[in-house]
């Protein structure tokens, strides 16, 4: 996996977008200890983000919430794919269905997620 971008959101929370070798992106926002959502399972957090939250985990003193862009309406980005995955997926009939979720799209989703999480304080 490759980190495409790491930054502090407008809401003041850490965020990152990761590119996977399978050809899709994932976005994450971390809340610090003391935040009311710290330690919560992603199913317990009522926010709107692309495809819904699919991840929660503690790392480096932050509790990270994440989403992925690997849903049925999300196309794989061939530029992100490893050679092994390209061999497997490029010939699939549904490979080009859906839309590629760009880095810009994922940054906007992280900003929205951060704002929603910050409003829960």
Structural domain containing residue 73 = 2-119
3-state secondary structure at position 71: coil
Please state the domain count of the chain.
1
Return the minimum-mean-pLDDT range out of 3-12, 41-50, 84-93, 112-121.
Answer: 84-93
Write down the pTM of the prediction. Answer: 0.92
pLDDT band at 83 (very low <50, low <70, confident <90, very high): confident
Q: Compute, in degrees rounded to 10, the torsion defined by CA atoms 35, 37, 59, 19.
A: -120
The 10s digit of each residue's pLDDT in 46-69 is: 999 999 999 999 999 999 999 999
pLDDT score recorded for residue 93: 62
Q: Does residue 90 carry a pLDDT above 80?
A: no
The 10s digit of each residue's pLDDT in 13-38 is: 999 999 999 889 999 999 999 999 99
């Amino acid at each position: 996996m490759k980190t495409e971008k790491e930054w502090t959101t407008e809401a003041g929370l850490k965020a990152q977008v990761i590119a996977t070798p399978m050809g899709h992106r994932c976005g994450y926002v971390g809340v610090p200890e003391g935040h009311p959502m710290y330690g919560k399972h992603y199913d317990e957090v009522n926010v709107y983000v692309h495809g819904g939250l699919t991840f929660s985990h503690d790392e480096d003193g932050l509790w990270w919430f994440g989403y992925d862009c690997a849903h049925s309406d999300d196309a794989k980005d061939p530029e992100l794919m490893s050679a092994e995955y390209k061999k497997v997926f490029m010939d699939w009939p549904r490979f080009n269905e859906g839309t590629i979720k760009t880095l810009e799209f994922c940054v906007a989703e992280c900003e929205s997620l951060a704002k929603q999480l910050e409003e829960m304080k």
